[in-house]
A = this chain, B = another copy of it.
C-alpha cells in the first residue's frame, strides 16, 4: 500500500505511520515535490485502505496488489480447465453452447436442441426462470421449463446450462442441470454467489452490464473463496453511450482476463450485439481475441420467440456459422468441433 500525502504536517505523517505500525506493517516515507510518499511493507490486504484516505494530509491511497487472490494468475499459473460432463473449457478446444433464450415448449426446445447438436454445439442453453426488465414480460415456464430441459437433455444427449436467480432454488437446480448460469444482473448478488459456491457444479458467470473487469473477477473470487473453482467467465457486452447496438461487446476483456486470471472466458455475441445479423462477425471476432468458447442464441422460429427473437439465429444460420468457425479455429491452432 502506498499513501500519497499532500504537503502534510509532521504530525499528520506521524499519525499515518503510527496507524500502519499498529496494524503490523513496516512503514517508510520519502518527500518529493511537496508530496510525502508513505510505503507500507507487508501484507496490507486485510488493512482498510479507505481509513487512511480519510486521514488529514492524505491525498490518495494506492494498492499495489490486485484485490482478487484465488482467481489470479499469481495463485495458479496454468489455465484452469472447467469440465462440464465431457466438455472442457480452457484448453485447445473451443466449445459452443447454443439454444433458445427461453424454453417455451417441449417441441420448441427439442427442435432447437436437435438442430444445434447437429451443427456441432456441445452444450444446450435455455432459460426456465427469466429475469425480465418488465414484470409484464414472459417470466419463463419455471418448474415446467426445468422438466423440459431435463427431458430434452436426456433425449438429445447434450448437457444443460440454465440460469439460477433465487438462492432458495440453487441446491435443487444443481441436482437437475449440468451447469448453473449467473446472469449479468445478478453478478453482484452476493447471496446467490455464496449459494452456488457451496455446490460443486460448474458455474457460468456473466459479466455485469456495467461491471469492470476487476469487479467481475471479484465476483468469481466470491465463488472460489466459497469452495467452487469450476468457473467459466462470460463476456456479454457492457453498457455504453452507443445505442445502435444493444450492448458494446468488450472483446478487450478476453486477452485481459486471460492475463489476469487462470479461469476460462467465453463470449456471448447474441447479447453482445442484440441483432442476429452481427452475431456471426462477432463470434468470429471472439475466436480471434482468444475466447475459450461461445454461447449463441438459436431459435427454430425467431419470429415467434417469446424473448430475444431479434438476436436469435435460425438453425440454418447457426449451421453455416459453425462451419465458418471451424475453419477459423484451425487457423488459430484450435478446434470448435
Contacts and interface: CB of A to CB of B under 8 A. Distances in A.
B50 A212 contact: no
Given A185-B189, A188-B131, A281-B289, A42 B51 contact: no
B243 A240 contact: no
Given A39-B39, A242-B212, A248-B238, A284 B278 contact: no
Interface stretch (A80-88, A90-98, A149-157, A252-260): A252-260
Q: How many copies does the complex hold?
A: 4
A307 B310 CA distance: 35
Given A131-B188, A254-B281, A309-B51, A40 B32 contact: yes
A168 B168 contact: yes
A335 to B, nearest CB: 13
Q: Which of the four size classes fits the interface of chain A?
A: 35 or more
Interface string A207-227: 001101111001001100110
Given A42-B33, A51-B309, A332 B133 contact: no
A165 B255 CA distance: 33
A67 interface: yes
A249 interface: yes
Contacts of A249: 251-252
Contacts of A332: 284, 328
B309 A50 contact: yes
A55 interface: yes
6 contacts: A185-B188, A213-B242, A214-B244, A288-B288, A288-B328, A328-B331
The 7 closest A-B pairs by CB, nearest first: A210-B210, A284-B288, A331-B331, A288-B288, A285-B289, A285-B288, A255-B281
